[in-house]
Structure 1
């Protein structure tokens, strides 16, 4: 298996994601017939894995996670419906630091 960056082949998808969501980065990858969309936003990371011809396999999910989010599957929200998998990792948002000003 090899994850190939094909982001440049999908400029409309990337622009739509960046314009209409809180995403700061969008990458599109190919894993043979399987397409992977990886999005990073301030509060979460999302992976969408799609294969129009067959269900997504567990080893594909594991492989993609190792090369993108790098978190154990148990710590993620996973929606797996046949040919479509969505994986979300919630990120802890850092609280702003308050620095008192003394006169």
Structure 2
């Protein structure tokens, strides 16, 4: 499984997210209909996964944690919203 970094194609969105939410940086990845938005704030890293057509797969969550956030599964908190979106957060050291 491989997600493509589409941050440059969505520079308007990354700029808005950096500015409005005081993020240090924002990256956007896509694979089919699944999107991962990854950002870092002063003290936390955060990833949001969404797919408007189906639920997020466990393998996509693992990919976001290991490949995008570059951390271990045991070091994050994962939240599933009623709409099926997934939020993953990790405090920064």
Q: TM-score, normalised by structure 1?
A: 0.80
- Flag as ranges the 4+ runs of structure 1 deviating above 4 A: none
Q: Deviations over 1:58-97 (max 9, x none)?
A: 11111221212222222212111353100011113xxxxx
Larger radius of gyration: 1
Q: Which residue in 1 is equivalent to 2:74?
A: 74
Q: Which residue in 2 is equivalent to 1:39?
A: 39
Separation (CA, whole Å) in 2 of partners of 1:2 and 1:12: 24
Separation (CA, whole Å) in 2 of partners of 1:13 and 1:49: 15
Q: Which residue in 2 is equivalent to 1:7?
A: 7
Q: Which residue in 1 is equivalent to 2:56?
A: 56
* CA RMSD after TM alignment: 1.4
Q: Which residue in 1 is equivalent to 2:91?
A: 90
Separation (CA, whole Å) in 2 of partners of 1:60 and 1:41: 23
Deviates more, 1:17-26 or 1:64-73: 64-73
Q: TM-score, normalised by structure 2?
A: 0.88
Q: For the Cα contact (< 8 Å) 1:26–1:39, is it kept in 2?
A: yes
Q: Which residue in 1 is equivalent to 2:26?
A: 26
Count of aligned positions: 92
Unmatched tracts of structure 1, length 5 or more: 93-103
Unmatched tracts of structure 2, length 5 or more: none
